[in-house]
Structure 1
């Protein structure tokens, strides 16, 4: 397969994708070679020396140590809601960077993310959002306690039936543990390590990669699954390989914890060359189980089965949680002309019905995912406080807040695996560009049947995405692109229509 090229203008190819054995360590090394930080910390076009500040960092020294030599612009902006950190920066300024940033992402004062962040800060003013809520702590402690008790019950009874609930609770413990490593250091972030995965590694691959560049070539959680699961649209991949990936997905989910454990200890001994307390945490369960099992070997065997079950549930939840569906942006799809970081986040995410209505389901199923991406350091139980500000800002900037059901996302994830051609979605065309291009198009009137219309064999939805004034009548506008058989595959035709009464007008034009 050829090297992938980003469809986001200005996004350079990430060299970490080309490394044969991909680890969190190789991701950081690739960033250090790419970011132009010159061994320091880069924020926008300035270089800072944060070495002396590391031990005073409220979020923990690790965040500073890990990011040395990289561009931390996106992490800095999304991890600090107040301006306290920004006011400290001049003290540590060294000089301007010698090279431009590798990514065109923006944080304009009046842009989407900055506007939302100001409103979110106001919405959170009555809670200590720098720390997890009591409810989250209680649920996390309950889950880890239940996981331990069920694991001991498995060892004592040697019952394979109890392995399943033990695995489920381990998966839920791992998901809620992810809530903690996003924030300042706390012992509860080590709950995540019971899974054999590393909270340190996930701070790198999840918080510093996936969260800041979701569904792009720079997203470790995209490229580390390749070629076994290939979600990015690519005409060079075969349909057969996609079908094989679909069939193999459950096996990949089940083996995920094992694979990450191998990479974890490979990095501990050969890359970081440092064994930390968290690296001993995964052995707590098998050691405890050995006290109740007939032998150590039996305890280890049963523990490995719990890990297998937990891995299957965790990755089943994670892979199908929010990011993969043909209607969600993946690098390769045609992108909008607004490079605001917050909009990039939301283009690559969909919220879910039902899941987002329960604190327990949110904490154990990666719920309120869009808000979590925008406010990664805010406890999940506080995120609902920001929903009003979120919806208001999305409405102002024309960002869809449509929710999918969990079943829709499961089906969509499997469809995305076999997605060959890039998509061009209505919401990725700016309102101004759409209005300008739609004004001079020829229109053909056709009848409207129910909520859908069909023209030349293509079904075109009626969701209103933008508006323009036409005399005294407001007309809803939408753009939808399709691939036509009688045109070359790389020639995308756009279809425009507006709905008026019982008729719909449709026009077309090339980009």
Structure 2
């Protein structure tokens, strides 16, 4: 009962995939779209996809290996630097490794977000290392355009800077509390990758000073 048109159009750039979408056609929408962007051949999605697809063909295949190496290196650096933070005795070494661990953790979450938009890969689950489920989006910030939206949506660039440092923990606590307030939430919504958020604290715990 869910319209997958927008998700399909946004995530599949290859023009040949349009034929696949046609196989799942049920009926035209009964209500108008709440987004100004259409799926017509001369509309926003198809026009942008055509131009992006042309540019993607120019990118060497080895670039995907390079991005994977960057993501893996950031995760490795985060784990190593967090370990050094526990082991080191010198104040400046502790502070330096602490900063490196913090920065690489933030960067690896951003890097892992790239894999959420690709086929299923273990790297997409690295996003959960920040206690934020990869499936939990738009809690307050609205990234997608829509006709009707709250007034604060226009100030997303400011709201992000203020709330994002706390949103990861808030999202985790919200999901955790739903286990006690919504029957069957744990069995229906929790998966193994929800435990990835405990990787770093467990890693630090098994590497004490």
TM (normalized to structure 1)? Answer: 0.34
Helix, strand or coil: the match of 2:26?
Answer: strand
1:299-338: per-residue Cα shift (whole Å, max 9, x none)?
xxxxxxxxxxxxxxxxxxxxxxxxxxxxxxxxxxxxxxxx
Find 2:176's aligned residue among 262, 265, 270.
265
C-alpha separation in 2, matches of 1:215 and 1:94: 25
Provide the C-alpha distance between the structure 2 equivalents of 1:84 and 1:214, rounded to a whole number of angstroms: 28
1:217 deviates by 1.7
Unaligned runs of 5+ in 2: none
For 1:231, which of 152, 155, 159 is the aligned residue?
Answer: 155
Kindly indicate whether structure 1 or structure 2 has the higher relative contact order, using CA contacts under 8 Å at least 6 residues apart.
2
User: Is the contact made by 1:198 and 1:279 (CA closer than 8 Å) also made in structure 2?
Assistant: yes
Q: Which has the higher helix share?
A: 2
The structure having more radius of gyration, on CA atoms, is 1
1:289 aligned residue: 204
Cα offsets for 1:333-390 (capped at 9, x unmatched): xxxxxxxxxxxxxxxxxxxxxxxxxxxxxxxxxxxxxxxxxxxxxxxxxxxxxxxxxx
Which structure: greater strand fraction? 1
SS in 2 for 1:110: coil
Q: Is 1:170 aligned to residue 123 of structure 2?
A: no
Q: Secondary structure at the match of 1:281?
A: helix
User: Aligned residue for 2:73?
Assistant: 142
1:190 alignment counterpart = 125
Selected match of 2:167 from 226, 234, 256: 256
Q: CA 1:132/1:261 → structure 2, altered by over 3 Å: closer, same or farther?
A: farther
Worse overlay, 75-84 or 120-129 = 120-129
SS in 2 for 1:194: helix
Q: How far apart, in 2, do the equivalents of 1:268 and 1:180 lie? A: 28
Is contact 1:74-1:212 (8 Å) kept? no
CA-based RMSD: 3.5
Maintained 8 Å contact 1:201/1:264: no
Residue 258 of structure 1 and its aligned partner are, at CA, apart by 2.0
Cα distance, 1:267 vs. partner? 4.6
| Residue 213 of structure 1, aligned match among 145, 148, 164 | 145
Looking at structure 2, the residues matched to 120 and 212 of structure 1 have their Cα atoms a distance apart, in angstroms, of: 19
Counterpart Cα distance in 2 of 1:79 and 1:150: 35
Tell me the number of residue pairs that the alignment of Structure 1 and Structure 2 aligns.
198
Alignment partners' CA distance in 2, 1:104 and 1:142? 40
Unaligned runs of 5+ in 1: 1-39, 43-71, 224-229, 233-244, 295-511
Structure 1 residue 101: deviation in Å?
3.3
Distance between the aligned counterparts of 2:118 and 2:68, measured in 1?
13
Counterpart residue number, 1:180: 115
Given that 1:147 and 1:169 are in contact with CA atoms closer than 8 Å, whether structure 2 keeps it comes out as yes
